[in-house]
Structure 1
Amino acid sequence: MSAEPATAQRRPAPGRCTVDPATVGSGDVLVLRALGLGDTLTAVAPLRGVRRMLPDHRIVLAAPEPLGSWLTELGVVDAVLPQAGLVPLPPVRGGHVAVNLHGRGPRSHELLLASGPERLVGFAAPEAGHPGPAWRRDEHEVHRWCRLVREAGGPCGPEDLLLRPHRPAPAGAPVLIHPGAASGSRRWPAARWREVARALVADGHRVVVTGTPAESELAAAVVDGVAGAEDRCGTLSLAGLAGVVGDSAAVLSTDTGVAHVATALAVRSVVLFGPTPPAWWGPAVDPGLHTVLWHGDPSAPAWGDPHAAELDERLAAVTPDEVLAAARAQLAAAART
């Protein structure tokens, strides 16, 4: 029997996704993407390019532990080094390949360079003394990181972000409404979501509302008075949420992490955009499965602040009738498949 490859021997044991930092060194790729759910999912495609670039290396993702562990369980990466934002990385052995999928630098570059890599893959950052491809402001997030990895030698494209192919929704599958978002500028009013939920229930659809524990009041406001709408806010793990999304007939949300879960799982969706243009963060594959609603001007030199507290005017311009029309069209298409 042939010996197991050295890289496989150093992968965490089943059920254990986190890695001992002291073991990260030669033969590893340390990838930094210490961001949220949507950001993590847009990195799946370039991560697969990294795998193709260095197929015999162990891929260690420096990211929030729940997200990194989920991608480890899915086989996208081999281990997670828990990391929350741009704080110093724990000491590692060094001699690895570092890949910056977090940002343009210089801070993210500096953190990775401090870990002692033999090579850093990242965008050009003169402040950090690092050459590389030029950062482009006007570029879709998935295309941006795929371009970086392709130029480093790892073929990949938007199609690589899919975690599974599209498949028909099961009989009786619900419509999932996810009303929350990390900032007020990307939160469509609860009263409008409630109007949409009530109409869909009247159409004969099951409606499930999801969210984080901190969004319980928002979810309660959406289901208030809507008989048949199920509030599952705060009850689901990350894997559980992905399971509910995957079994839905359609997902309705603003530009937030759950929209990217629907894209990755090839589930029909309607996504409401506000301060950020969909050309930067919208679904990058399967255009027939995803409807984008946005009232921005694509030629404008600047858009709103995605982290602002107040509802963005472009998102405010989206009406319940528009959302219902888009949802009904997607559900009708689902019924024909």
Structure 2
Amino acid sequence: MKKYLIKNGKSPYWQVLCKGDKITSVSTHTTDRKEAEKFLASYIPQQKQKPETIVAKTSISLSKFFEEYKTYVSNTYSVKYLKKAVIPSFVSLQKHLPDIPLENISSRNIDQYISSVFSNSKYAASMYYRTLKAAFNKAVVWNYIEINPFNKIKTPKTPSSLPVFISEAELIQILDKVENQLHKDIFTTAYYTGMRLNELLNMKWDWIDFNQNLIIIKNSDQFLTKTKQERVIPIHPRVDQILKSRFTLGKEKESHYVFYRVNGVKLNGEFISKQFKKGAKAAKLNSKIHFHTLRHSFASALVQRKVDIYTVQKLLGHSKIQTTQIYSHLQKENLSQAVNLL
């Protein structure tokens, strides 16, 4: 069996690649090349008696896995996800469990942990569960554990609440409190397209088809939609005005961002979100209003105008109709008609 030292994007550590009947790999748990070479020299791959036999898992402690997973997330996902989901979730788990090997963490341990968090905060329990389950799925991929201990634990149920939305009049109130025209354009486009903030900030001119009056949300090497599915949104007259006014700012190229402060540099999503929140606060509107409220408002306006829920699903890009059905409560006339049949 031949052995090689490699490095890939899945882990910050050097990996030993073994080529025999099947290609397998094992982590050296070090980023230092010399230490990795020592590991390579001393590592003896286990011989498989049967083709189906899985290579023995590599042991790693909870704390070391946390450090490795943080590096992976920082290279793959947003800083916001790392700071607001991954780090708090692991810190919480480490307070409940000692620094034991990952393979020693049982479903019973996880059940007791989630129950403990749930008794204090239902929302925190739900967020920690989702985040840590994803992390332990990666541990399975990395051959640290054979089975994810979260698999046998049910997702904590959180109280459902109806989405907050604003009317056109309230949007105007917010825009009146915003001085920056770029911000006004982004907020208005979000309201009349239902696009996610990340989609708006990644939108380039090759997404815009002025001839057919469409925005085509595209996947690329630099950007993937949340569901990894492309979708089409007709351009509202107010959005059409914004796009055409921005297009005439200069000789735009298809690869340029539609919304930018410095050409070629993507805007910071957290900053834009805070500016919208600031405008809503200045307008003295509901404190629960945030940037995603613009997407809720787009969907709510469509439902209230009797657009069928499946069309709304397509415009929003929801992969499951159940996600879109949170807006069905707005069809009050349908509910009244149903009751009147009794």
Query: TM-score with structure 2 length normalisation?
Result: 0.28
Structure holding more strand per residue = 1
Structure holding more helix per residue = 2
Query: TM-score with structure 1 length normalisation?
Result: 0.28
Q: Which has the larger radius of gyration?
A: 2
